[in-house]
A and B are shown apart, each in its own frame.
Chain A
Amino acid sequence: MENQYDVIIIGAGVVGNAIARELSKYSIRVAVIEKELDVSMGTSSRNSGVLHSGIHYKPGTLRARLDVLGNSLMADLCNDLKVKMNYLGKLTVAQDEEEVKSLYILKEQGQANGVPDLAILDTDAMRKIQPNVGGIKALHSPSTGIICPYSLTIALAENAYANGCHFYLGHRVTALSKQGDGFDVTASGKRFQSRVLINSAGLYSADICAMLGINDYKIYPCRGEYLILDKRLDGSLKVLVYPAPHKGKAGLGIHLTNTVSGNILIGPSNEYQDDPEDYACTARIMALLRKEGHELLPDLKTADFIRSFSGLRAKQTSPGKGGFEDFVIESREDVTGFVNLVGIESPGLTSSPAIALMVKDMVAKLLTLKRKETFEGTRSGMAGYFHQLPDEQKADLVSQNPDYGEVVCRCEQITKKEVLDAISNPLGVQTINGIKYRSRAMMGRCQGGFCLPRIVQILEKEFGYNPEDFLLKSKDSQLFLGKMRQDVV
């Protein structure tokens, strides 16, 4: 049967895709089922893009172990997958002696977790790393890094696909049942069967559990809003700067985060929501973030705010309780063959390669895993973008392919070739946001004002799109209702 698999993974976020890629190294049939029209549409694309060092997690927890391991695996993985990342380092800054004490506690905790090269710096030393930073002492964690989270998620999926994994995008799982040795999965009216079922549904992970009669878990979506700043301010931050933990302060606090693309993020906030799809930005939080931004970056101008977004953390702790629970990663004994991942909030992105290994070991106990000799772990293409290449290399590429000479997105200097590559990616692209996440076009300061009309023309002329075919992000998010006027013959 066509829809019969050895392993089905529910959810094409960074964790699901990392697992898919890991399992694509073996001679088994693997499929990923995703309710959205693209991979990386949930928490995986809506976060700070920070590779955490592991200083914040309680020793002995999965979060501590998987984060530190994931962090150490990331450089090779990104090198293979052509994903841009940077071990930038982080300063956790104390403002007074009380906070300095917490730095030593953090350092000790980090060392217990195996975080490399931690050091407490005095004022001079920390200002050598980040001039003008306020505070008296700082904990320096050089292994803290930044990464483009959706680039990683997309790259994992593309590489898994290239190695034989199937992706069913736009398929929402509506029913699950245990049938003999395996599972029956119904998604958007289509029936699937698998021997092993992996739940990496993120915000919906508890709902997936419930479909199999497991009612042990509840997810409390907790929203974080961000503002994105103009690239003009790139370079203001040499490293990440976080405030030291403080009694009575929840989360990591609102802070500035560099991104690999040069935009600084302000955020995230911390607000519990009922709706796991409510990605709204609110006037109250936006005003708060703007105020924080002006305090943290005195040179910041109103025109530097180019966009806002929000993401939802899949928390297991209720609003009343707060704080963090450890990740749940289990091979269920009561439902044999069900590998269950619940509450993978931060540091899920950093941990993803390590989670994939852990899940692979669980699957190995359920199925015979035999290495596939044809596995190709590297992805073609380049990390980053054409405009970041040296002039000589650019000139060479343009002479090979004139589409590199045509700049479609003016703000981000994204070429037509890069847009075409995004449209023709192995998984296909069904939405304008899919092109945006892959090519970076429309992400600049004019937010597509210039390039969206050009991209629409490319899709129409070179890919045969009709006006109704243009979707922003989901099947009901049409850009156009039709033709304005009938064609004159």
Chain B
Amino acid sequence: MQVIKRDLVIIGGGPAGLAAAISARKNGLKDILLIERDKILGGILNQCIHDGFGLHTFREALTGPEYAQRYIDEFHKLGIEVMLETIVLSLDNNRQISVSSKEGFVKIQAGAVILSMGCRERTAGAISLPGTRPSGVYTAGAAQNFINLQNKQIGNRVVILGSGDIGLIMARRMTLEGATVAAVFELLPTPSGLARNVQQCLNDYDIPLFLSTSVFELHGTDRLTGVTVASVDETFQMIESTKRFVPCDTLLLSVGLIPENELSLGAGVNLEATTSGATVDDTYMTSVPGIFSCGNVLHVHDLVDHVSEEAALVGQSAVRYVTQKTVRDSASIPIEAKQDVRYVLPQTVSGKTDFTVSLRVTRPMANGVVMIKDKGRKVAGKKIVRLHPAEMIRVKVKAKNIETAEKLEVSVQC
């Protein structure tokens, strides 16, 4: 079987893969291959026809396809090699990749690999939704694909479970397309999506959002006829007296995203329980030397702008690995999530260069300070007026502040 060699192989041509490839080329690497399973580049952005992308990067509100196109144009201008309609079947810890396409089976030996496969949606099965198994139950992303890319009317009367951003966007989309969105139900006491989406997608269209409420049963043997919903207490147990039937022919699920790390696991990459993504150092290298990770396969992001920024950094790191054959810095300093912080990323740093910590908080808070401390000594901090689990927070840390650090702890002080 044919084995080809490339200095850098990037798996996935969505926003992370594109930005990583462009960055790697701009940092001087010639021999780059990007592998994409779809017919076109751009990943999930292609079905996100709403605007609001690129506010940070371009200071413009672009649609998903527009945002993707800027990167795709640059990618092609730089003449980077791409394999489309090609699926990676496996990756091993020596960075050998098996791919399949209509052209056949190929093995590729990569000098470095960037994982940018994105994530998948949590399903009705994954949340063990009781009841029947009728048609009309879709994940929000699949519904978005059918409506925006395939011109299919998926339903007339819609209930949305979960207030993740895609669910909120789909509530507005379904309304604009003439369907009635009966309500959005969210198990948690706070919305999972961005505040701006709650305002622009629900409030502006008078779509009710019920917090601490969930769907407890599906009804209908053929097509969905309705759902049983009820409020929950602090321990997420259903409050029997609040049970009610909501008639609908469609249920959209926006109940979380799961990084698609099956290939990573095959290569022996260590994953974090909190992010379901790889454990990385401040070069975004995983536990397997020469394999890097970025974008939603590393941790689920709030804004694509942050994905592009992170991926550009990873592209740079991968080039350094390929050209300088850098080994991992042995003295790695762990970073840990403490008070009110759900996760931090990277999980270890060398301490030799400046870096940015990405994190999410566990609950909504006001006027807080994200503190990064070394044995009680503040090494970095950031004042934030409104802290929310839906929003990713990024804090810059200077290398000179952590020269003697053994362990960094990240917490929120209100």
Instruction: Give the interface of A toward B (CB within 8 A).
Output: 227-228, 232, 277, 279-283, 286, 290, 303, 305-309, 387, 391-392, 394-395, 398-399, 402-403, 405-407, 410-411, 413, 445-450, 452-453, 456-457, 460, 467, 471-485, 487
Contact assessment for B150 and A456 in the assembled complex, using a CB-CB cutoff below 8 Å = yes
CA–CA, A283 to B240, complex, Å? 13
In the assembled complex, the Cα of A467 lies from the Cα of B152 at a distance in Å of 7
Question: For chain B residues 135-155, which have a beta carbon within 8 Å of chain A?
Answer: 135, 139, 141-142, 145-147, 149-155
Q: Which 6 pairs from chain A and chain B are nearest by CB? A: A307-B125, A476-B222, A472-B135, A402-B102, A477-B222, A477-B135
CA distance A277 to B126 in the complex (A): 24
Known A405-B102, A476-B223; 15 more pairs at CB < 8 Å: A279-B133, A282-B130, A283-B216, A305-B128, A306-B123, A394-B105, A398-B104, A407-B87, A407-B100, A445-B120, A446-B120, A453-B150, A467-B152, A478-B223, A480-B146
Q: Flag if A309 contacts B133 (CB, 8 Å).
A: yes
**With A405-B104, A449-B141, A478-B135 in contact, do A456 and B130 touch (Cβ < 8 Å)?**
no
Assembled-state Cα–Cα distance A484/B250 (Å):
15
The answer to whether the Cβ of B101 comes within 8 Å of any Cβ in the partner chain is yes
Question: B332-384: which residues lie under 8 A (CB-CB) from chain A?
Answer: none
User: What 0/1 pattern do residues 147 to 165 of B give for CB contact below 8 A with A?
Assistant: 1011111111000000000
Contacts A306-B123, A456-B152, A476-B222 given; does A280 touch B1 at CB 8 Å: no
Min distance, Cβ A380 to any Cβ of chain B, angstroms: 23
> A482–B146 contact, CB under 8 A?
no
Taking the complex as formed, is B177 at the interface, i.e. its CB lies under 8 A from any CB of chain A? yes
Q: B25 within 8 Å of A by Cβ? A: no
Residues of A within 8 A of B276 (CB): 303
Query: Distance (Å) between the CB of B273 and the closest chain A CB?
Result: 9
Question: Which residue of B has the minimal Cβ distance to A225?
Answer: B130
Is B391 in contact with chain A by the CB < 8 A criterion?
no
A413, B146: Cβ atoms under 8 Å? no
Q: Give the shortest distance, in Å, between B306 (CB) and chain A (any CB).
A: 23
Within 8 Å of chain A (Cβ to Cβ): is B208?
Answer: no
B73 contacts the other chain (Cβ, under 8 Å)? no
Complex Cα gap A411–B37 (Å): 13
* Bound CA span A228–B135, Å: 20
Q: Which of the residues B37, B134, B153 comes within 8 Å of A483, measured between beta carbons?
A: B153
Alpha-carbon distance A226/B354, docked complex (angstroms): 51
The binding surface of chain A is classed by DSSP as: mixed
B87-104: CB near A (< 8 Å → 1, else 0) gives: 101000000001011111
- Chain A residues contacting B124 (CB-CB under 8 Å) are 447
Contact status of A484 and B221, CB under 8 A, knowing A280-B132, A392-B1, A477-B135: no
Report A-chain residues with C-beta under 8 Å of the C-beta of B1: 391-392, 395
B169 to chain A, nearest CB (A): 15
Q: Which residues of A contact B302 (CB under 8 A)?
A: none
Complex Cα distance A357/B216, Å? Answer: 46
Which residues from chain A contact B105 at a C-beta distance below 8 Å? Answer: 391, 394-395, 398, 405
Docked Cα-Cα span, A256 to B300, in Å, equals 33
Please tell me the size bucket of the interface on B.
Answer: 35 or more
Inter-chain CA distance A392–B105, complex, in Å, is 9
Report if B31 contacts A (CB, 8 A).
Answer: no
Task: Please pick, from A282, A392, A403, A449, the residue contacting B123 in the complex, using a CB distance under 8 A.
Answer: A449
CB distance from B154 to the nearest CB of A (A): 6
Min Cβ gap A318→B in Å is 25
| Contact indicator A449/B130 (Cβ below 8 Å) | no
Interface pair A303/B142, CB less than 8 Å apart: no
Q: Are A481 and B155 in contact (CB under 8 A)?
A: yes
A sample of 6 inter-chain contacts (CB < 8 A) reads A277-B221, A305-B126, A413-B89, A456-B152, A472-B222, A485-B151
Min CB–CB distance B251 → chain A (angstroms): 13
Q: What residues of chain A lie closer than 8 Å to B104, measured between beta carbons?
A: 395, 398-399, 405
- Asked if A473 and B101 sit within 8 Å, CB to CB, the answer is no
Contact (Cβ within 8 A) A227 B87: no
- Chain A hits for B126, CB < 8 A: 303, 305-306, 445, 447
Instruction: Report if B7 contacts A (CB, 8 A).
Output: no
A270 to B318, CA, bound (A): 55
Interface centre among A410, A471, A487 (most CB of B within 10 A): A410
User: Does the CB pair A474–B130 fall under 8 Å?
Assistant: no
- Say yes or no: A449-B223 contact (C-beta < 8 A), given A281-B130, A413-B89, A483-B152: no
Give the residues in chain B near A473, CB-CB below 8 Å. 135, 222
CB distance from B108 to the nearest CB of A (A): 14
Nearest B residue to A405 by beta-carbon distance? B102
Assess whether B309 is interfacial by the CB under 8 Å rule: no
In the bound complex, how far is the Cα of B146 from the Cα of A460, in angstroms? 12
Chain A residue nearest to B122 (CB atoms) is A303
Question: Closest CB of chain B to A487's CB: distance in Å?
Answer: 8
**Is the pair A477, B125 in contact by a Cβ cutoff of 8 Å?**
no
Measured in the bound complex, the distance between the Cα atoms of B194 and A364 in whole Å is 72
- Is the beta-carbon distance between A472 and B146 smaller than 8 angstroms? no
CA distance A228 to B103 in the complex (A): 35
Please report the C-alpha to C-alpha distance between residue A357 and residue B141 in the assembled complex, in whole angstroms: 50
B66 CB within 8 Å of chain A = no
- Nearest-neighbour CB distance to chain B for A91, whole angstroms, equals 29
How far apart sit A398 and B249, CA to CA, in the bound complex (Å)? 41
Please, which residues of chain B bring their CB within 8 A of the CB of A457?
Answer: 150
B121 within 8 A of A: yes
Cβ of B61 within 8 Å of any chain A Cβ, yes or no, is no
In the assembled complex, which residues on chain B have CB atoms less than 8 Å from the CB atom of A456? 146, 150, 152
Contact A484 B153 (CB under 8 A): yes
Query: Do A283 and B130 have beta carbons less than 8 Å apart?
Result: yes
Known: A280-B132, A446-B121, A483-B153. A453 touches B146 (CB 8 A): yes
- Report A-chain residues with C-beta under 8 Å of the C-beta of B142: 448-449, 452-453
B residues near A277, Cβ cutoff 8 Å: 221
- Complex CA–CA separation, A460 to B130 (angstroms): 32
Is B51 part of the contact surface with A, judged by Cβ < 8 Å? no
Q: How far is the CA of A394 from the CA of B87 in the complex (A)?
A: 14
Nearest chain A residue, comparing its CB with the CB of B121: A449
- The residues of A that contact B153 with a CB separation of less than 8 Å are 467, 480-484
Contacts of A410 in B (CB 8 A): 37, 87
Contact indicator B145/A453 (Cβ below 8 Å): yes
Which residues of the other chain, B, contact A472 by a CB distance below 8 angstroms?
134-135, 222
Cα-based distance from A227 to B128 in the complex (angstroms): 9
Given contacts A227-B128, A449-B120, A477-B222, contact A406 B217 (CB under 8 A): no
Q: From known contacts A407-B37, A485-B151, infer whether A305 and B125 are also in contact, taking CB-CB under 8 Å.
A: yes
Least CB distance from B131 to A in Å reads 5
Query: Which residues of the other chain, B, contact A281 by a CB distance below 8 angstroms?
Result: 128, 130-131
Give B145's nearest chain A residue, CB to CB: A453
- One digit per residue, 1 when the CB lies within 8 angstroms of any chain A CB and 0 when it does not, for chain B 55-90 equals 000000000000000000000000000000101010
Evaluate contact between B131 and A280: CB separation under 8 angstroms.
yes
Nearest chain B residue, comparing its CB with the CB of A485: B151
Query: A145 → chain B, closest Cβ, in Å?
Result: 26
B258 at the interface (CB under 8 A from A): yes
Hey, which chain A residues are within 8 Å of B121, CB to CB? 446, 449
